Structure 1
Amino acid sequence: MIDTVEAANSGYRYMPGVTQYSCGVGALPGFTLQRVRFSRVVPLKQGFAMIADIVGKAGRPLTSFAACELRSPAPFTEQGFKDFNEIYIKTLIDWGVMKDGVNPIARSNVCPKLDPPSEPGFHAFTFAVAADDAPESFVVAGSGESAEGKGDYRDNTVCLGDVSPPAMLAKAKWVLDEMERRMSAFSGSWSQTTAVQLYTVRDVYALLESELGRRGVLRNGVTWHFNRPPVVDLEYEMDCRRVHLERVVEV
C-alpha cells in the first residue's frame, strides 16, 4: 500500500502529491469526512470565509479542511495555473493547513463550458468531523491525463492534441489507472466509492460501458460534468470519493 501522512490536528491522512494539492485524503479512526456543496459557485475569497464559518460552527479547527472542488472560468495556461495556485495556497498557509511547502488538501479544479463562473470559486469542500465507529471514508483528488510533478503538462500528456476515439480511450485508461492507484493508498476500490465524477466536453459515451463499466466504476452511477480540465489541452478528468455525510448549503 502507498504510504500516507497524517495531517496535524486534522482528523485525516493524505497521500502526498504536488505543491498545489495532495492525491487524496482519508479519515483517521474516530473521524469521518463530510462534504458540503454550495448551491452555486462561490468566489474564492468569499468561499474561504464561508468554509471557515461552517467548519468553526461544527466545532472543528481550520486544519480539518481536507478537500475542495473548484470551478474556474476557462482552462489556464501553464503559467496562469501556477499564478492561480499561488493565490489559493496563501490562505492554506495562513490557516496552518499547509506548512513547509507540503499541501495535504485533495482538490479538483475544472472549467464549465456552459454557464462558467466569472472568477474561480468553490463548488464544494470536505472536512473531517469526529464520528465514533464511522465507516472508512476517503476523497481522491481530480486527475487529468497528464503526470503531475514531472515538469510541464504538455510534455507529460497522453495523446496531446488528439481527441479521436482511440486517443480518448488512452486518456481514460490513464486517468482510471491513476484513480485506482490513489484509492489504493486508502485500501479503496471502485466497489467502495459512493460517488464518481467525470469531467470532459468530448464524446466518451462509448467508453462508459467498455472501460468504466468493465472496471466497476458505474456501480453507483457516474456524474458527468460538461466541464474541461483546468489546463489548456487536457481533455479528460475524474475524481471519486467514499463519503457518507453530504449536504448542500444555499448561497
Structure 2
Amino acid sequence: MTRDFPAGNYRFIPAVFQYSSGAVAEPGFEIERVRFDKPVALAEGFAQIATYIQAAGRPLTSFCACELRSPAAFTEDGFRAFNQHYVKTLAEWGLFDGTTNPVARSNVCPEIDPPAEPSFYAFSFTRPGSGTSPSFVIAGSAEARGGAGSYPERIVRYRDLSPDGLKEKVRFTTAEMEGRLAEFGFGWNDTTAAQAYTVHDFHPVMVDELVRRGATRSGLTWHFARPPVIDLEYEMDCRRVAREMVI
C-alpha cells in the first residue's frame, strides 16, 4: 500500500525508518535525478542538495530519493548506527517524523576506490512538470527477506556463492523490484534505467533472470560494488526519470 506525502508532491511505499521502498511523483510533477561528478561526503552532500533544490524553487520536502556510497559493508549494528545518524537531517528537513520515512534510497560499497566516508552519489527531487508520463524511483533492495530477524536469518542462500546460490539471489532481488513496481501499478516496461550492484559474475543467470523478465528494457548499469551489509551479495534498483543532470 502506498502513502501520500503532500509536502513533497509524491507518493511512497512505506518500509523501514531509514528509507522507503520507492517514490512516485504526483500528477503535474516529475522527478529530476542529479548525479554528482564525484561522490560528496554526507554532510557536504546534504548542504549541496539543499542549495540545488532551493535554487530550483522547491522545498526541501521535495527530496524523494538518494543513492549513497560507503567505504565498506557495515555490520548489522554499524548499519543501524549509520542510519540513525542519516535520518537526523531528514527530520530537520521535515521528511522523517521519527517513524515514517518517505525517501527512497540505495546505499552500496564500491569494491575499488571507495570513498573515505559515506557519501552521496546521486539524489532525486520532485518539481512541476508538464509531461504525461509518470516518474518514479524504486529503492535499492538486496537478497534479504523482509520481516523480523537478523540479516543472517533473512538473507536468501546465506553465504552461498555457488552458481545456484547466486541464481536464487538474483531471482529473489528481481522479484522484489517487480513487487515494488507493482505497488505503483508499473512494470519493467515503464522503467528508463536499472542498476545492479555486485562483485560477483552474474552473467550466467542474466538472460533468464533479468533479460527475459524485461529488467534490461533500457539496458543495465552494473556497479562493481557490494550491498551495504556484510554477507549481502547482490542489489538492484530502477527508475523512470526523464530529467537527469550531472553536477
Same fold (TM over 0.5): yes
Q: Distance in 2 between matches of 1:235 and 1:133?
A: 37
Cα shift at 1:150 = 2.2
Shifted more, 149-158 versus 35-44: the winner is: 149-158
Query: Where in structure 2 are the equivalents of 1:27-42 lying within 5 Å?
Result: 27-42=25-40
2:166 alignment partner, SS class: helix
Q: Indicate which of 13, 16, 20 corresponds to 2:14.
A: 16
Give the corresponding residue for 1:44. 42
Give the corresponding residue for 1:218. 216
Cα shift at 1:203 = 1.0
Give the corresponding residue for 2:75. 77
For structure 1, the residue ranges without an aligned partner over 5 or more in a row are none
CA offset digits 1:190-240 (Å, max 9, x no partner): 111100000000111111112111101112110000000000000000000
Q: Distance in 2 between matches of 1:186 and 1:245?
A: 20
Cα shift at 1:149 = 4.1
Give the corresponding residue for 1:112. 110
Question: Match for 1:24: what amino acid?
Answer: G
Q: Count residues with an aligned counterpart.
A: 247
Does the CA-based 8 Å contact 1:112-1:226 persist in structure 2?
yes
Question: Match for 2:149: what amino acid?
Answer: G
Query: Where in structure 2 are the equivalents of 1:116-155 lying within 5 Å?
Result: 116-155=114-153
1:107 alignment partner, SS class: strand
Q: Distance in 2 between matches of 1:110 and 1:233?
A: 13
Question: Match for 1:13: what amino acid?
Answer: R
Shifted more, 193-202 versus 206-215: the winner is: 206-215
Q: Distance in 2 between matches of 1:152 and 1:8?
A: 34
1:127 alignment partner, SS class: strand
Cα shift at 1:183 = 0.4
1:9 alignment partner, SS class: helix
Q: Distance in 2 between matches of 1:106 and 1:19?
A: 11
TM-score by length of 2: 0.98
1:17 alignment partner, SS class: coil
The runs of at least 4 consecutive aligned structure 1 residues that moved more than 2 Å come to: 148-151
Q: Distance in 1 between matches of 2:142 and 2:234?
A: 5
Shifted more, 5-14 versus 226-235: the winner is: 5-14
Q: Distance in 2 between matches of 1:130 and 1:94?
A: 24
1:158 alignment partner, SS class: coil
Aligned-CA RMSD value: 0.9
Identical pairs, percent: 52
Query: Where in structure 2 are the equivalents of 1:65-214 lying within 5 Å?
Result: 65-214=63-212
Cα shift at 1:185 = 1.4
Q: Distance in 2 between matches of 1:202 and 1:166?
A: 13
2:30 alignment partner, SS class: strand
